Amino acid sequence: MAATGKAYHIRSYCFDLLYSRYWVYLNSLGNTEPGASSSKPYTSAGYSLAVILDSGTTLNYIPQNLFNVILADFPGAVLEDNGAYSVSCSYATQSGTIDFGFGNVIINVPYSQFIWQPAPGSCYLGVIPLTSSISIPILGDSFLRGAYGESKEY
């Protein structure tokens, strides 16, 4: 998919002046499955989750309840010793998107970007639940790769 050539501003907030960390509010999350014409919502109206955007983090870290609904859409995912969920690499070739909403901007991250492929034949779901060591929601590289080129304003 080609980039639209349009840049969107998403309001960010600074919460840590010492380390200049910023967060944005995720207002919706959904899945446009391959062949579907619209996104299946994972969140309800009025949803708001403060998340950090971090290019130094490979995966996305989200609350367990939200993770569980995403996981259900990727049958066959297996929890590995490293804490990530391996999935069939065939997902990375499918036309679906994971749809992140920030106010009136929806960022459609293609499965090919959302599925993390650290090596040929090795594929992982681009999201894991928050842990005791990572307790702040983070949108990492598996979101940011897709965000650079795919977004729509509604």
Cα–Cα distance, 53 to 88 (Å, whole number): 27
Cα–Cα distance, 70 to 68 (Å, whole number): 5
In a domain, 2, yes or no: no
Q: For the domain that residue 51 is a member of, what is the CATH number?
A: 2.40.70.10
Range of the domain at 123: 13-153
In a domain, 5, yes or no: no
Domain count, the chain: 1
Q: What is the predicted pLDDT for the residue at 23?
A: 79
Mind listing the pLDDT tens digit of every residue in the chain (154 residues)? 333 444 444 554 445 544 556 778 999 999 999 999 999 999 999 999 999 888 889 999 999 999 999 999 999 999 999 999 999 999 999 999 999 999 888 999 999 999 999 999 999 999 999 988 888 899 999 999 888 754 444 4
> pTM, whole model, 2 decimals?
0.83
> Quick one: CA dihedral 94, 75, 113, 81, positive or negative?
negative
Q: Which residues pair with 89 in a beta bridge?
A: none
In a domain, 6, yes or no: no
- For tokens 């598996």, name the residue: 142
In a domain, 7, yes or no: no
